[in-house]
Copies of this chain bind each other. A is one copy, B any other.
């Protein structure tokens, strides 16, 4: 049921200009967007509008004080053209967890869910049908209120844009375990999907790229002895037949793919440990051959296998296994997402 959402449709659809067989990630945008404004102390009714530029005063606080949060989601079309989301209420809840930490007013659930459904209905032709493709959904909120005073804004914009995207394939990923830079502090905003968390990663990542790696493995800022995240993803490490991931904290994002993998792996009889992982045990496991797999987990790539890692001027290769937890779990999770397999967890959500 979509109530009370005003819809203004575009007069000039761009859909015929799009090559749906050759989609990249997040670079072509659908015809419409959802917009919802916070002003006069409350969120105003959301509207579906033609995708259009955002106009802001130069003093808008987003430009100066980084007050912004976002989410990443996907919509899938099955063979019968039914449209599915994956655990969307978890994205909604996390958006509000991020909002609170960034002093952004929390959103009403119906504005988020009904707004999203209205947008997907209007742009349903933009949801790719090709296997592996999906409609990437980007809800975001930022400070649109004005003034140079370093304090929370009095106005915000909540927007959802969507981008039809092909299968995310990063190629062979080699990672560098970070010994100097950090993405988050104890008592900081690392657990939130705050814009500033990502900007801070770009320079250290560029340094790793310059050394021949594709991504950084983040470690704790105090000792750099604990493995925390893989680039902008959560990280899983398989030692022998045990799958290990770090516990969430105020430094680590509570990833929806991460927690789905934990549940799914346990259900499939894989031994899963959620505990702190030290760099030294991973290096030791690589040396003695018990390190079988490492992979990142996140909405965009779902699971991104890691082929090797660098640490303290040494490089370690991971074995090339015929059957990996990564590919097994990725197939299981995407089959649930795309309505190809039974969903005993109740994760799938029909639009």
Closest chain B residue to A221, Cβ basis: B185
CA separation between A161 and B146, bound complex, in Å? Answer: 13
Shortest Cβ distance from residue A44 to the other chain B in the assembled complex, whole angstroms: 18
Measured between beta carbons, the chain B residues less than 8 angstroms from A213 are none
Measured between beta carbons, the chain B residues less than 8 angstroms from A143 are 199
CA separation between A65 and B185, bound complex, in Å? Answer: 18
Measured between beta carbons, the chain B residues less than 8 angstroms from A151 are 202, 205
Closest chain B residue to A143, Cβ basis: B199
Using A27-B147, A150-B232, A182-B185 as known contacts, say yes or no to A198 and B136 having CB atoms under 8 A apart: no
Decide if A194 is an interface residue (CB 8 Å cutoff): yes
- Pair A148/B26 contact, Cβ less than 8 Å: yes
Measured between beta carbons, the chain B residues less than 8 angstroms from A222 are 186, 221-222
Measured between beta carbons, the chain B residues less than 8 angstroms from A189 are 196, 199-200
Closest chain B residue to A157, Cβ basis: B63
- Pair B58/A54 contact, Cβ less than 8 Å: yes
Q: How many residues of A contact B (CB 8 A)?
A: 70
Shortest Cβ distance from residue A126 to the other chain B in the assembled complex, whole angstroms: 14
CA separation between A166 and B228, bound complex, in Å? Answer: 46
Q: Please state the number of chain copies in the assembly.
A: 2
List the one stretch of A11-19, A100-108, A254-262, A275-283 in contact with chain B.
A100-108
Decide if A309 is an interface residue (CB 8 Å cutoff): no
Residue of A100, A151, A178, A195 with most partner-chain B CB within 10 A: A195
CA separation between A155 and B308, bound complex, in Å? Answer: 32
Shortest Cβ distance from residue A27 to the other chain B in the assembled complex, whole angstroms: 5
Measured between beta carbons, the chain B residues less than 8 angstroms from A102 are 199-200, 202-203
Decide if A295 is an interface residue (CB 8 Å cutoff): no
- Pair A64/B70 contact, Cβ less than 8 Å: yes
CA separation between A182 and B251, bound complex, in Å? Answer: 11
Using A54-B56, A188-B182, A221-B185 as known contacts, say yes or no to A66 and B196 having CB atoms under 8 A apart: yes
3 tightest Cβ-Cβ pairs between the two chains A and B: A196-B196, A26-B148, A66-B195
Mark A residues whose CB is within 8 Å of B.
25-27, 29, 33, 51-60, 62-68, 70, 100-103, 136, 138, 140, 142-143, 146-152, 159, 161, 163, 178, 180-189, 194-203, 205-206, 221-222, 224, 231-232
